[in-house]
Structure formats: structure tokens, C-alpha cells
Amino acid sequence: MITIEYFVIMAEKDQCEGRGGLEETSIYFLNYQDALEFTKRKEMQEFTVMGHVRAEGHKELIKEKTTIIFDNLNEYTEQYKNKLKQQALAKLTLEEKRILGLV
């Protein structure tokens, strides 16, 4: 399993008034500073309201994301089962956990 943490550049959906929310572009960076530097560049005009690019960049248009790539289906299945188990255990009271011998 590989876990990749990265930063995606977001774009304004409504580039006239900025009321349309944000959507992901296909521009990704592994380093936050590189993402921030990109938001200061002229190319950023196509993603901002009225093509305005600020000298300090657009921190609000950088979104941190994590992607997990599994080696195989069995690895995913095992993680999914563990997640379900943790969710079920989280619902138990301390007394129920004692009765089941978990604490």
C-alpha cells in the first residue's frame, strides 16, 4: 500500500463573481511551497475570479489531499474489515467492552 499526500490547485467555478464554489483542476504538487508559488504565476489567471492573481498567492485555492493505492484487492479488503471493526468497537460502552473481555 502506498499513501500519497499532495496538494491540488482549485479553480473558481464562477470566474465572473466568484459565487460558484470551487472545483479541482488537474494540477497537483507534492510540495506545498511549489503549489503556493504556482498560485502567484500568470497561468493562475484561468482559475481565479476575473483572472486576478495576487502577489502573495491564493492559499484558499490549494487543497491538501491524500490518496491510498493498494497493492491488491486482499490488502484493501483487510483494511476495510479493520475499519469496520474499529467503527463497531467505537460504539460499545466501557461496560460492554469489559463484558466482551476487550479491556
Cα 93 from Cα 96, distance rounded (Å)? 5
pLDDT digits (tens, 9 = 90+) for 3-47: 999 999 998 887 676 677 889 999 999 999 999 999 998 888 888
pLDDT digits (tens, 9 = 90+) for 41-64: 888 888 887 777 777 788 888 999
Q: Look at 67 and 16; give whichever has higher pLDDT.
A: 67
Using alpha carbons, select from 58, 60, 57, 8 the residue that is nearest to residue 31: 8
* Residues in CB range of 29: below 8 A, 6 or more apart: 6, 7, 9, 35, 38
Q: First-to-last CA distance in the chain? A: 30
Q: For position 79, what pLDDT does the model report?
A: 95
Q: For position 54, what pLDDT does the model report?
A: 79
Using alpha carbons, select from 9, 6, 7 the residue that is nearest to residue 45: 9
Q: For position 17, what pLDDT does the model report?
A: 67
pTM of the model: 0.72
Q: For position 18, what pLDDT does the model report?
A: 62
Cα 46 from Cα 19, distance rounded (Å)? 16
Q: For position 83, what pLDDT does the model report?
A: 95
Which residues are 69's β-sheet partners? 2
